[in-house]
DNA sequence: ACCTGAACACCGTTCAAGT
DNA sequence: ACCTGAACACCGTTCAAGT
């Protein structure tokens, strides 16, 4: 079977899930596909763009939390949907955060929310969604690294419900601030 | 002059400021000190702990925004003080974020705030400070990578006041949420 | 105790050469 | 057009050997 960009991205995602972000190297991806490392550069310009494509695939699962009665409910559901999509893949939050910091990645998880907030008359939709995204990525990154440290036995296993509670609290904080008029 | 842990951390911070996080390698730090890379391991257990020490030195400049009339003002000042300390060193936000995700670093920038919120009767002081820290680190990381991309000419220079406005907005969002009772 | 020199097992990326 | 093989310039970490 011919080497394709999709196959390369798929192999990258597979290695991410199995061994973590640190092990997603051009050589490892090439090995998994039975090909030389240099061959990848015919289909992908560099490692960063490969990682960005993997991040996009992960984010594609987080699109559309559906319809909700209120804007607050929609935003809250959006945050939880995004978190679930990130928790489905090892180191996904860290990967998405660094990809977005570099301005790479085609999928913008905030696009839908920005429009809905604007239509709903919420002030600063862009800054608001950005703030919420920063919280989600930061929280889930910490969650995922803590899980791996615990898996290695370097850290006592954290209480599983604590992360859920703190996440919900943080989302509520931003959502309440969003619907409260600025001073 | 003898090689010391403090000199190693200082050289690391210097390379960070001059060349960025990606260039802070054990070999580069050793070179700057006129020493072999292996020599560092006599004073520092590994690269991560060296980076954690550099992160601690950066955070040490962000301690104590002083006293403020209200709790809201104090928290707001804390966020802005932390941002300024991070902006003073290249890639500092990314460095602090990854150090804290790994549970390394002796300095806890949230410690003071947690206590003040608890005394002030604010609910969930720990989750609240964590949420605000995630926002600050995420925002400043994006700010610093955008600045570097612009410096390389890969991206048009962003409007300098936009980052300030969005940061202030995000802080206000969390602070307002903090002082609004949960549903 | 402290540092050198050299090694081990890796990296991302490039590129002539083959098919 | 697409891939191999080999190279270039790096990594973090370890460790015998020197002083």
Q: Where are the domains of chain B?
A: 5-45, 64-182
Provide mean pLDDT across the span A108-137. Answer: 97
pLDDT-derived band at B156 (thresholds 50, 70, 90) equals confident
pLDDT in tens, A45-101: 999 999 999 999 999 998 778 888 899 999 999 999 999 999 999 999 999 999 999
A 78-97 residues with CB < 8 A to B: 94, 97
Which one is the CATH code of A5-45: 1.10.10.60, 1.10.287.110, 1.10.287.3510, 1.10.3720.10? 1.10.10.60
A149 vs B contacts (CB less than 8 Å): 102-103
Residues A166, B126: C-beta atoms closer than 8 Å: yes
Predicted TM-score (pTM) of this structure: 0.96
Q: Which of B96, B69, B101, B71 is nearest to B82 (CA)?
A: B96
Provide mean pLDDT across the span B132-143. Answer: 98
Considering all nucleic acid strands, name the nucleotide whose C1' atom is nearest to the C-alpha of residue A36: D4
* B157 interfacial to chain A (CB closer than 8 Å): no
Average pLDDT taken over every residue of chain A:
95
Provide mean pLDDT across the span B78-103. Answer: 97
Residues A173, B131: C-beta atoms closer than 8 Å: yes
CATH of domain A64-182: 1.10.357.10
Chain C nucleotides reached by a protein CB under 7 Å: 2-7, 10-16
CA distance to A98, A148, B3, B33, B53, per residue, from B6 (Å): 30, 30, 9, 12, 9
Rounded Cα distance between B125 and B117, Å, is: 5
Provide mean pLDDT across the span B72-80. Answer: 97
Percent of chain B with pLDDT over 90: 86
pLDDT over 90 at A152, yes or no: no
* A161 interfacial to chain B (CB closer than 8 Å): no
Kindly list the protein residues whose beta carbon lies within 7 Å of any strand C atom: A 23-28, 37-38, 41, 46-48; B 2-3, 34-39, 42-43
pLDDT over 70 at A183, yes or no: no
* The predicted structure's pLDDT at residue A159: 87
* The predicted structure's pLDDT at residue A1: 64
Residues B170, A127: C-beta atoms closer than 8 Å: yes
Tokens (6 digits) for B161: 């006041």
pLDDT over 70 at B1, yes or no: no
CA distance to B3, B41, B43, B67, per residue, from B8 (Å): 7, 10, 8, 35
* The predicted structure's pLDDT at residue B159: 87
Pick the more confident residue, A52 or B62. Answer: A52
């Amino acid at each position: 079977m011919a080497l394709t960009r999709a196959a390369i991205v798929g192999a990258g995602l597979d290695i991410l899930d199995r061994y973590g972000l640190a092990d997603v190297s051009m050589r490892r991806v090439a090995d998994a596909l039975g090909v030389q490392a240099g061959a990848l550069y015919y289909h992908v310009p560099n490692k960063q763009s490969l990682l960005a494509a993997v991040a996009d695939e992960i984010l594609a699962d987080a699109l559309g939390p559906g319809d909700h009665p209120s804007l607050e409910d929609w935003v809250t559901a959006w945050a939880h949907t995004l978190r679930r999509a990130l928790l489905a893949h090892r180191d996904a939050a860290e990967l998405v955060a660094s990809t977005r910091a570099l301005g790479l990645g085609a999928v913008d998880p905030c696009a839908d929310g920005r429009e809905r907030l604007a239509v709903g008359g919420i002030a600063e939709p862009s800054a608001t969604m950005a703030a919420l995204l920063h919280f989600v990525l930061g929280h889930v990154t910490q969650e995922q690294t803590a899980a791996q440290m615990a898996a290695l036995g370097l850290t006592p296993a954290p209480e599983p419900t604590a992360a859920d509670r703190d996440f919900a609290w943080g989302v509520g904080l931003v959502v309440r601030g969003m619907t409260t008029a600025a001073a």
